[in-house]
Chains A and B, each alone.
Chain A
């Protein structure tokens, strides 16, 4: 159990590359914190610095109030689960899990009981005498978790522990990781590039980009109040739609028509000294098929009409894709997000608006559809620096 504090922690490589820049995070005892961001954002480097596997260039790392920069990994009393699991192939599952205890010179009886207890929790009891090479991916992953929990460390560090599992297993393991962490109450830092894991697992999420912390907050807060364009685009699936728009006397000219802004949004934008040209963001789930809306409710929002390009019926909901006439908003942040998702290489995805409609919608591909949205949900961003002009955190 420990409190971990990163105080202006910076990692600069000998070749001058800056991997992590002045990272400030205070992780409370027992908290589950997620570091999330696209590849190369410095999240794994940050984790390795907490672990002691990489040196800290400047700044201070404190574990339980004591400076830990110079401590060797073995003296930090932190356990780590690796993406590749890193199980010792020449040892059985039991020996793998007992390894940290043996190194700590724990007596045989205690080792036995602790390993068996951990195996019980992780449902590995019947596999204790097998070698890692004879286990399935999910079982190997659980052994890696087991090796981390046996010695009851101050904190767990997890480096994309689920990314090698197939989608279904990943979902199951996500739940069990979450349960395990609540059960043990151990401080956990978890690195992932998967925004779903970030949303579902953590007490707090740290969004990183290019080694710089973009925003720290609870998953819901990040979803509702993204500090900037990058966080807005990264959190949420499918991601937020962005369109270029012009602010003119309280209304917004956009490819979705001229939208009358609500007082709340207008006041926030004015307070933030919004420029004329802005980027407007709307989440897919904030659209609805206008035909399904009650008349009174419908009046309170805006409507636009467009032809449905593609319709994906998921059963519980439908995703309708529209093409807008104008080019979609592009900024450095959005390009980076697109590159990370790989969509930059897919032709034609750049100018698509995604909307999530009720399953009862009668939208058809190739047919025009009236789409309703709530203008109060619109978020405005400054295209020059990505800042959220309607941020109300």
Chain B
């Protein structure tokens, strides 16, 4: 037992060490940004990890100007709308892919995979021209549309994996119990796919929220500029002022919705919801 115990303690110590390294590696840059956002302008470049002088001035500054508030509203609006549309369309497509045999199914899956792999940068110039022609440039739909396009493959892939897990017989049972195909889907399949839907929603939302490339290329004013793009336009009060503090504060603020989003939906992503449906 003693030897066994020693082995377990050794193992635990090794794992703890690995865990700590990973967490530190991931969190140091985040904590650094947080630290910068609380520093005063004078101490900004002093190299201290923990600010010697704490201030909320940077946060007060960003919320005092339209330069930040307006893009924040754009970001929230565009990301939520794009997420909703992508998840609803993705659900229908994924259900069809998981359940039905239709002509062109392989082609559809192939094309969606192709889109997911397509380098987005190569589409920026054509999109820029197309959107200017169509009058979509610098509007909400101008960003929502490309976001949906690139989020759909992700949504379809994640959701079809979840749909495939749901026993086929449940749907047959619903039909026998008198459900129309629509009722079978909304009353039986959709509730069971809920964890998958929420997981997908989180992934799509994060993709839209974090996007910088389309946001900087397809917008020109605060009418539709999202926060990641707006951050790059931050300036200090004068040419000689360093905007690092305010950029850091804004970066911290835009991380918060993601954290809230994940925490809110995490409780609904309960694994093993389907257990007990069929003899397993």
A residues contacting B by CB (< 8 A) are: 51-53, 72-74, 78-80, 82, 84-90, 99-100, 103-104, 131-135, 137, 140, 147, 151, 157, 164
Contacts and interface: CB of A to CB of B under 8 A. Distances in A.
Interface string B173-186: 11111111001000
B276 A80 contact: no
Contact of A84 (B167, B175, B179): B167
Given A84-B279, A86-B278, A87-B277, A100 B191 contact: no
Contacts of B176: 51, 53, 73-74, 78-80, 157
B279 A100 contact: no
A80 B177 CA distance: 8
Interface of B: 167, 169-170, 172-180, 183, 187-188, 191-192, 273-279
Nearest to B276: A133
Contacts of B279: 84-85, 137, 140, 164
B221 to A, nearest CB: 47
B277 A89 contact: yes
B279 to A, nearest CB: 4
A7 B279 CA distance: 35
Given A74-B175, A79-B176, A90-B273, A84 B183 contact: no
Contacts of A73: 175-176
B169 A89 contact: no
B173 A103 contact: no
B214 to A, nearest CB: 38
9 contacts: A51-B176, A73-B176, A80-B176, A85-B279, A99-B187, A133-B275, A135-B276, A157-B176, A164-B279
Given A86-B169, A86-B173, A88-B188, A74 B275 contact: no
Q: Which 10 A-B pairs have the closest CB atoms?
A: A133-B276, A84-B278, A86-B173, A132-B276, A100-B177, A86-B169, A89-B277, A80-B176, A103-B178, A74-B178
Nearest to A76: B176
Given A132-B277, A135-B276, 19 more contacts: A51-B172, A78-B176, A79-B176, A84-B167, A84-B277, A84-B279, A85-B277, A85-B279, A86-B169, A86-B278, A87-B173, A87-B276, A89-B273, A89-B275, A90-B192, A99-B187, A137-B279, A151-B178, A157-B176
A88 B170 CA distance: 7
Contacts of B277: 84-89, 132
B276 A103 contact: no
Contact of B179 (A52, A74, A86, A87): A74
A51 B178 CA distance: 11
A131 B270 CA distance: 15
B162 to A, nearest CB: 14
A115 to B, nearest CB: 13
A51 B174 CA distance: 12
B195 to A, nearest CB: 11
A79 B277 CA distance: 18
| Centre residue among B169, B177, B188, B274 by max chain A CB count within 10 A | B177
A135 B167 CA distance: 18
A146 to B, nearest CB: 12
B13 to A, nearest CB: 38
